[in-house]
Amino acid sequence: MPIWISDRLILAFPADAEYIKADPRAIILEAGQAFGTGTHPTTQMCLREIEAQLVAGDHVLDVGTGSGILAIAAARLGAGRVVAIDVNPHACRVARANVGHNSLDRVVTVAAGTPDILGRAEGFHLVLANLDSAGDAKSWLPIFSRFCRTGGKIILSGFQAPGEGAVVAALGCANLRRLDRRAEGGWITFLLEKQP
């Protein structure tokens, strides 16, 4: 059964694909044991934040892409280019397959590794990161900042309320400021902006 994320995004699974594939809002997704089935609160908050923040033509970096759901959503919503990376080679295979199922190969590139594989900092308009913990979020903040253009946005999720203070405390050192906070089921999502 499809999951309606919003008026502009519908999450569908292979069993739903035939009747929904023609709908341009549909994201066809087979998780294949990679994180990101679309049912977790952090994923849903990230999807809604992408929809609110993405400007058509934006260049997007998705760190820890898992199934590729956030990268695919960004492409569906009009991103000009999406780079999706994950340190797990299996997740990259799953994400590539999902990008193919959605016919977005020309917009989304999937690569195995950390952002350092990109070489120089490109200055992405939007950086997406749905991580495993507050500790991960805190340690990754300087890297996300380096790859985000000044005035660009970072959607950061994957941590719970008890770890929120540590993430907030690390924002200044990474030249980031918090613009918004969402919470659902004890999970937190931040919208951050890179400062000059």
Per-residue pLDDT, averaged over 118-135, amounts to: 84
Q: State residue 49 phi and psi, 5-degree precision.
A: -70, -40
Q: Which CATH architecture has domain 36-194?
A: 3-Layer(aba) Sandwich (3.40)
Name which residue leads in pLDDT, 119 or 157.
Answer: 157
Question: What is the predicted pLDDT for the residue at 36?
Answer: 64
Question: What is the predicted pLDDT for the residue at 16?
Answer: 73
What is the reported pTM?
A: 0.92
Nearest to 129 by CA among 62, 60, 55: 62
Name which residue leads in pLDDT, 4 or 195.
Answer: 195
Question: What is the predicted pLDDT for the residue at 1?
Answer: 74
Q: To which residue do tokens 């994201």 refer?
A: 27
3's enclosing H/E stretch is strand 3-4
**Percentage, residues of the chain above pLDDT 90:** 66
Residues in the chain: 196
